[in-house]
């Protein structure tokens, strides 16, 4: 991996793309994905793989890369006059430079004090704090209602999954779910709780999901239309 820079701009058939290089001792093959937040390509190299091998994979799948990047929604900047999402509701961001209250929600607007250049960082910190307060509590409530006993609830800023359940009963949720409607959150939580009994996506699993939530179809439709956009919300 010493021959590969951490990041570089690489020409492909459709233009130029930014590639971020990763190395992984556990990887068994070269992998490639699109980072929806940064809008760049991430190539992971296993031990012994060379940068040239990664570039060959990139160029062999340049059409897939170009199509994936073109489907990314515009990046949403958190700035004065912009908006944040909480439980699917839009709240206009209002800069209040003279205030000394930090960040607070009032009259349908998110007020952010301090210097203008810190609006994005403070708004993101506020959203993450809302996720920390709301999502684990909602998961535990649904778990109690269904008779489930997860061993741990963790929040992460994942790029490809909204949640996961490990064999030891630990559940992970993407914290950005706090921006989605509560019906979507309910479905994702039900999905992961169902994995506590079925570590697969077989018929029994989906039957259990449908018993745990009435929102599956609605949530799947919403995520197809808007899910990628949640990953594009953040500082420019």
Q: What is the pLDDT of residues 176-226, one digit of tens each?
A: 999 999 999 999 999 999 999 999 999 999 999 999 999 999 999 999 999
Please tell me the distance from the alpha carbon of residue 175 to that of residue 127, in angstroms, as a whole number. Answer: 9
pLDDT digits (tens, 9 = 90+) for 116-169: 999 999 999 999 999 999 999 999 999 999 999 999 999 999 987 999 999 999
How is domain 83-230 classified at the CATH fold level? Zincin-like (3.30.2010)
Residue 155 three-state SS:
strand
pLDDT of residue 225: 92
Find out whether 163 and 192 touch, Cβ atoms under 8 Å: yes
Select from 112, 114, 113 the least CA-distant residue to 92: 112
Query: What is the arithmetic mean of pLDDT over 81-105?
Result: 95
Q: Name the nearest CA neighbour of 189 among 143, 133, 158.
A: 143
Whether 230 has a pLDDT exceeding 50, the answer reads: yes
Rounded distance between C-alpha atoms, residue 191 and residue 187, angstroms: 6
Q: Is the pLDDT of residue 37 over 80?
A: no
Domain boundaries, the chain: 7-70, 83-230
Tell me what pLDDT residue 3 has: 52
86 beta partners = 89
Q: Give the pair of three-digit tokens for residue 234.
A: 């953040």
The conformation of residue 87, written as its DSSP 8-state character, comes to: T
Give per-residue burial for 147-175: e unless 16+ CB within 10 Å, then b. Answer: ebebeebebeebeeebbbbeeeeebbbbb
If you write DSSP's letter for every residue of 45-77 in order, what string do you get? Answer: E-TT--HHHHHHHHHHTHHHHHHHHHTSPPPB-
* pTM of the complete model: 0.79
Average model confidence (pLDDT) for the chain?
93
Q: How far apart are the first and last CA of the chain?
A: 29
Of 38, 32, 27, 40, which is closest to residue 59 (Cα–Cα)? Answer: 32
């Amino acid at each position: 991996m010493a021959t590969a820079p951490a990041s570089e701009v690489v020409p492909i058939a459709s233009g130029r793309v930014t590639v971020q290089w990763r190395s992984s001792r556990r990887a068994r093959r070269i992998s490639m994905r699109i980072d929806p937040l940064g809008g760049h390509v991430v190539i992971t190299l296993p031990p012994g793989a060379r940068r040239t091998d990664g570039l060959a994979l990139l160029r062999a799948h340049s059409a897939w890369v170009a199509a994936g990047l073109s489907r990314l929604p515009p990046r949403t900047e958190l700035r004065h006059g912009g908006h944040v999402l909480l439980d699917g509701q839009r709240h206009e961001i209002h800069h209040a430079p003279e205030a000394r209250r930090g960040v607070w929600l009032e009259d349908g607007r998110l007020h952010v004090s301090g210097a203008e250049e810190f609006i994005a960082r403070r708004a993101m910190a506020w959203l993450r704090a809302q996720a920390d307060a709301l999502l684990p509590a909602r998961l535990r409530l649904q778990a109690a209602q269904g008779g489930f006993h997860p061993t741990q609830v963790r929040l992460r800023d994942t790029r490809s999954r909204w949640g996961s359940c490990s064999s030891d009963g630990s559940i992970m949720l993407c914290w950005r779910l706090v921006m989605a409607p509560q019906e979507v959150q309910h479905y994702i939580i039900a999905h992961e709780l169902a994995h506590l009994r079925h570590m697969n996506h077989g018929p029994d699993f989906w039957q259990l999901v449908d018993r745990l939530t009435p929102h599956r179809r609605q949530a799947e439709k919403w995520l197809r239309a808007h899910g990628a956009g949640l990953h594009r919300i953040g500082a420019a």
